Amino acid sequence: MIFRTIVMSATAVVALSAPAAAQVVRPKVTLAQAVATAEGKLAARAYNAEFDMDLGDMVYEVELVKNGKPIHAKVDATTGRIVRQSTPLKARIPVIGDHLKAAQTAPRTLSETIAMVEDATKGKVAEIGLERRGGRHYYEVELVGAQDREVLVDVRTGAITPLIGD
């Protein structure tokens, strides 16, 4: 009898707490909105952006360039406000300088590129980052809700190419 009471009580506790545990908290701000905010508020050009959890807070990490210098920003995924920004130590790695130059001289901002990709693929950009392949710069884009889950976007032309097996 005591065992049955304990089991019934435990079942009731699990049943009552299940809806709260099953509740998923999602960002209220999109990656595109976070990038546009960082670009606008910091008067800089973004070249990498992704969602992250920072000590339990949902943020977008956005890497930008302004006057040839990198800036890192964290945008709150709930409010859309910049909660932290920093200027990393100047790296002497040639690839970094090349990325910064490509981002700063790109014909479209990262937020414009995100809008273009989302419109073309009917998906949502989850992560986007600048990289160099075969002597050209591309944005590698991870998508949610699109037929192709990853695409490359030529920084100069805007051509979108599905990535298969990368």
pLDDT, one tens digit per residue, over 60-110 is 999 999 988 899 999 999 999 999 998 876 555 445 677 788 888 899 999
CB contact set of 111 (below 8 Å; sequence gap of 6+): 32, 35, 36, 39, 46
What local confidence, expressed as pLDDT, does residue 24 receive?
66
Q: Which helix (H) or strand (E) holds 12?
A: helix 2-22
Both tokens assigned to 116? 């273009």
pLDDT reading at 10 higher than 90: no
Q: What is the pTM of this model?
A: 0.79
What local confidence, expressed as pLDDT, does residue 9 receive?
44
Angle between helices 31-42 and 110-121 (to 10 degrees): 160
What local confidence, expressed as pLDDT, does residue 12 receive?
43
Separation between Cα atoms, residue 62 and residue 128, nearest integer Å: 10
